[in-house]
Protein backbone atom coordinates (compact mmCIF):
# COMPACT_ATOMS: atom_id res chain seq x y z
CA UNK A 1 0.00 0.00 0.00
CA UNK A 2 0.97 3.61 -0.46
CA UNK A 3 2.61 5.82 2.17
CA UNK A 4 -0.48 8.01 2.31
CA UNK A 5 -2.69 4.95 2.94
CA UNK A 6 -0.39 3.81 5.74
CA UNK A 7 -0.50 7.33 7.23
CA UNK A 8 -4.30 7.31 7.31
CA UNK A 9 -4.45 3.84 8.89
CA UNK A 10 -1.88 4.91 11.49
CA UNK A 11 -3.95 8.03 12.20
CA UNK A 12 -7.15 6.03 12.66
CA UNK A 13 -5.36 3.58 14.94
CA UNK A 14 -3.81 6.39 16.99
CA UNK A 15 -7.22 8.01 17.45
CA UNK A 16 -8.86 4.70 18.39
CA UNK A 17 -6.06 3.78 20.79
CA UNK A 18 -7.45 6.53 23.05
CA UNK A 19 -10.75 4.68 23.50
CA UNK A 20 -11.30 4.45 27.27
CA UNK A 21 -13.38 1.26 26.95
CA UNK A 22 -11.49 -2.01 26.78
CA UNK A 23 -12.22 -5.31 25.16
CA UNK A 24 -12.99 -7.78 27.96
CA UNK A 25 -10.93 -10.60 26.47
CA UNK A 26 -7.83 -8.73 25.29
CA UNK A 27 -7.75 -5.55 27.36
CA UNK A 28 -7.12 -3.56 24.17
CA UNK A 29 -8.97 -0.31 23.41
CA UNK A 30 -12.31 -1.48 22.01
CA UNK A 31 -12.41 0.86 18.98
CA UNK A 32 -8.83 -0.01 18.03
CA UNK A 33 -9.57 -3.73 18.14
CA UNK A 34 -12.81 -3.26 16.20
CA UNK A 35 -10.99 -1.40 13.42
CA UNK A 36 -8.33 -4.10 13.21
CA UNK A 37 -11.01 -6.78 13.03
CA UNK A 38 -12.78 -4.86 10.26
CA UNK A 39 -9.56 -4.70 8.23
CA UNK A 40 -8.85 -8.39 8.76
CA UNK A 41 -12.35 -9.40 7.69
CA UNK A 42 -12.26 -7.12 4.65
CA UNK A 43 -8.90 -8.57 3.61
CA UNK A 44 -10.40 -12.04 3.90
CA UNK A 45 -13.70 -11.34 2.13
CA UNK A 46 -12.51 -8.81 -0.48
CA UNK A 47 -8.71 -8.90 -0.82
CA UNK A 48 -8.82 -6.59 -3.86
CA UNK A 49 -10.82 -3.85 -2.09
CA UNK A 50 -10.17 -0.23 -3.00
CA UNK A 51 -8.17 2.04 -0.70
CA UNK A 52 -11.33 4.02 0.04
CA UNK A 53 -13.09 0.85 1.19
CA UNK A 54 -10.10 -0.26 3.24
CA UNK A 55 -9.93 3.14 4.93
CA UNK A 56 -13.68 3.22 5.59
CA UNK A 57 -13.58 -0.26 7.12
CA UNK A 58 -10.74 0.65 9.45
CA UNK A 59 -12.27 4.00 10.40
CA UNK A 60 -15.90 3.02 10.72
CA UNK A 61 -15.91 3.52 14.51
CA UNK A 62 -13.21 6.17 14.77
CA UNK A 63 -13.56 7.86 18.16
CA UNK A 64 -17.08 6.50 18.52
CA UNK A 65 -16.98 6.86 22.29
CA UNK A 66 -17.00 10.66 21.88
CA UNK A 67 -20.66 10.52 20.88
CA UNK A 68 -22.41 8.22 23.36
CA UNK A 69 -25.90 6.97 22.61
CA UNK A 70 -27.01 8.30 26.00
CA UNK A 71 -26.46 11.87 24.79
CA UNK A 72 -29.51 11.50 22.50
CA UNK A 73 -33.17 11.03 23.43
CA UNK A 74 -34.52 7.55 24.06
CA UNK A 75 -36.53 5.81 21.38
CA UNK A 76 -36.20 5.20 17.67
CA UNK A 77 -36.07 8.88 16.69
CA UNK A 78 -33.19 9.54 19.09
CA UNK A 79 -31.42 6.39 17.94
CA UNK A 80 -31.68 7.34 14.27
CA UNK A 81 -30.44 10.88 14.97
CA UNK A 82 -27.48 9.45 16.89
CA UNK A 83 -26.60 7.03 14.06
CA UNK A 84 -26.86 9.76 11.41
CA UNK A 85 -24.73 12.20 13.39
CA UNK A 86 -22.23 9.47 14.22
CA UNK A 87 -21.83 8.52 10.54
CA UNK A 88 -21.18 12.15 9.63
CA UNK A 89 -18.69 12.45 12.49
CA UNK A 90 -16.81 9.33 11.38
CA UNK A 91 -16.74 10.57 7.79
CA UNK A 92 -15.37 13.94 8.92
CA UNK A 93 -12.67 12.42 11.11
CA UNK A 94 -11.50 10.00 8.43
CA UNK A 95 -11.55 12.48 5.57
CA UNK A 96 -9.53 14.97 7.63
CA UNK A 97 -6.85 12.28 7.96
CA UNK A 98 -7.09 11.51 4.26
CA UNK A 99 -6.74 15.16 3.27
CA UNK A 100 -3.70 15.55 5.51
CA UNK A 101 -2.15 12.48 3.84
CA UNK A 102 -2.66 13.89 0.34
CA UNK A 103 -5.87 12.28 -0.90
CA UNK A 104 -7.89 14.43 -3.30
CA UNK A 105 -11.52 15.50 -2.82
CA UNK A 106 -12.96 12.64 -4.93
CA UNK A 107 -11.00 10.02 -2.98
CA UNK A 108 -12.10 11.54 0.32
CA UNK A 109 -15.73 11.62 -0.80
CA UNK A 110 -15.56 7.94 -1.82
CA UNK A 111 -14.61 7.01 1.76
CA UNK A 112 -17.05 9.51 3.29
CA UNK A 113 -19.94 8.08 1.26
CA UNK A 114 -19.16 4.65 2.67
CA UNK A 115 -18.89 5.94 6.23
CA UNK A 116 -22.22 7.76 5.90
CA UNK A 117 -23.76 4.44 4.71
CA UNK A 118 -25.09 5.89 1.46
CA UNK A 119 -26.32 3.84 -1.51
CA UNK A 120 -26.05 0.44 0.15
CA UNK A 121 -27.79 -1.51 -2.59
CA UNK A 122 -26.34 0.41 -5.55
CA UNK A 123 -22.70 0.87 -4.47
CA UNK A 124 -20.80 -2.43 -4.50
CA UNK A 125 -18.20 -1.08 -2.04
CA UNK A 126 -20.99 -0.07 0.36
CA UNK A 127 -22.50 -3.54 0.14
CA UNK A 128 -19.10 -5.09 0.78
CA UNK A 129 -18.63 -2.86 3.83
CA UNK A 130 -22.03 -3.92 5.18
CA UNK A 131 -21.13 -7.57 4.62
CA UNK A 132 -17.87 -7.07 6.52
CA UNK A 133 -19.65 -5.30 9.38
CA UNK A 134 -22.05 -8.25 9.68
CA UNK A 135 -19.25 -10.83 9.60
CA UNK A 136 -17.32 -8.95 12.30
CA UNK A 137 -20.44 -8.77 14.46
CA UNK A 138 -21.21 -12.48 14.17
CA UNK A 139 -17.59 -13.61 14.45
CA UNK A 140 -16.51 -11.40 17.36
CA UNK A 141 -19.51 -9.92 19.18
CA UNK A 142 -22.57 -12.16 18.82
CA UNK A 143 -21.57 -14.62 21.55
CA UNK A 144 -21.37 -11.86 24.16
CA UNK A 145 -24.50 -10.23 22.76
CA UNK A 146 -26.71 -13.33 22.93
CA UNK A 147 -27.12 -13.73 26.71
CA UNK A 148 -28.35 -10.12 26.98
CA UNK A 149 -31.33 -10.65 24.66
CA UNK A 150 -34.34 -12.95 24.42
CA UNK A 151 -34.54 -15.52 21.63
CA UNK A 152 -37.22 -13.44 19.89
CA UNK A 153 -35.07 -10.30 20.06
CA UNK A 154 -32.09 -12.24 18.72
CA UNK A 155 -34.12 -13.59 15.80
CA UNK A 156 -35.33 -10.07 14.99
CA UNK A 157 -31.79 -8.62 15.23
CA UNK A 158 -30.28 -11.38 13.10
CA UNK A 159 -33.05 -11.00 10.53
CA UNK A 160 -32.26 -7.26 10.29
CA UNK A 161 -28.57 -8.14 9.97
CA UNK A 162 -29.37 -10.55 7.13
CA UNK A 163 -31.35 -7.87 5.26
CA UNK A 164 -28.20 -5.71 5.15
CA UNK A 165 -26.09 -8.48 3.64
CA UNK A 166 -25.67 -9.60 0.06
CA UNK A 167 -27.01 -13.00 -0.90
CA UNK A 168 -23.44 -14.23 -1.36
CA UNK A 169 -22.43 -13.07 2.11
CA UNK A 170 -25.46 -14.77 3.70
CA UNK A 171 -24.55 -18.00 1.95
CA UNK A 172 -20.92 -17.72 3.01
CA UNK A 173 -21.95 -16.97 6.58
CA UNK A 174 -24.15 -20.07 6.67
CA UNK A 175 -21.15 -22.13 5.53
CA UNK A 176 -18.67 -20.57 7.97
CA UNK A 177 -20.63 -20.25 11.20
CA UNK A 178 -22.28 -22.89 13.32
CA UNK A 179 -25.14 -20.85 14.75
CA UNK A 180 -27.72 -22.35 17.12
CA UNK A 181 -30.39 -24.18 15.11
CA UNK A 182 -33.15 -21.81 16.24
CA UNK A 183 -31.19 -18.71 15.17
CA UNK A 184 -29.53 -19.86 11.93
CA UNK A 185 -32.68 -19.43 9.77
CA UNK A 186 -33.01 -15.77 10.80
CA UNK A 187 -29.55 -15.01 9.47
CA UNK A 188 -29.80 -17.20 6.40
CA UNK A 189 -32.98 -15.64 5.00
CA UNK A 190 -33.99 -12.05 5.59
CA UNK A 191 -37.60 -11.59 6.60
Q: Compute φ and ψ for 28, nearest 5 degrees.
A: -75, 155
User: pLDDT tens for residues 41-61?
Assistant: 999 999 999 999 999 999 999
**What is the rounded CA–CA span in Å between residue 189 and residue 65?**
33
- What is the reported pLDDT for 185? 79
Judged against a pLDDT cut of 70, whether residue 190 lies above it is answered with: no
- What is the reported pLDDT for 189? 62
| Selection from 17, 51, 52 nearest residue 34 by Cα | 17
**What is the rounded CA–CA span in Å between residue 146 and residue 188?**
17
pTM summary value = 0.92
Judged against a pLDDT cut of 60, whether residue 112 lies above it is answered with: yes
Going by C-beta distance under 8 Å and a sequence separation of 6 or more, which residues neighbour residue 40?
A: none
User: pLDDT tens for residues 81-93?
Assistant: 999 999 999 999 9
Amino acid sequence: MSARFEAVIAGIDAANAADPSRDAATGEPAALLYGQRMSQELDRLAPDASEALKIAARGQHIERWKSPRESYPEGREGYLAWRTDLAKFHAGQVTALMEAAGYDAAECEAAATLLRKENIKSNPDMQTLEDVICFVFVRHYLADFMPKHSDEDLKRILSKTARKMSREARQRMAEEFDLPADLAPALARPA
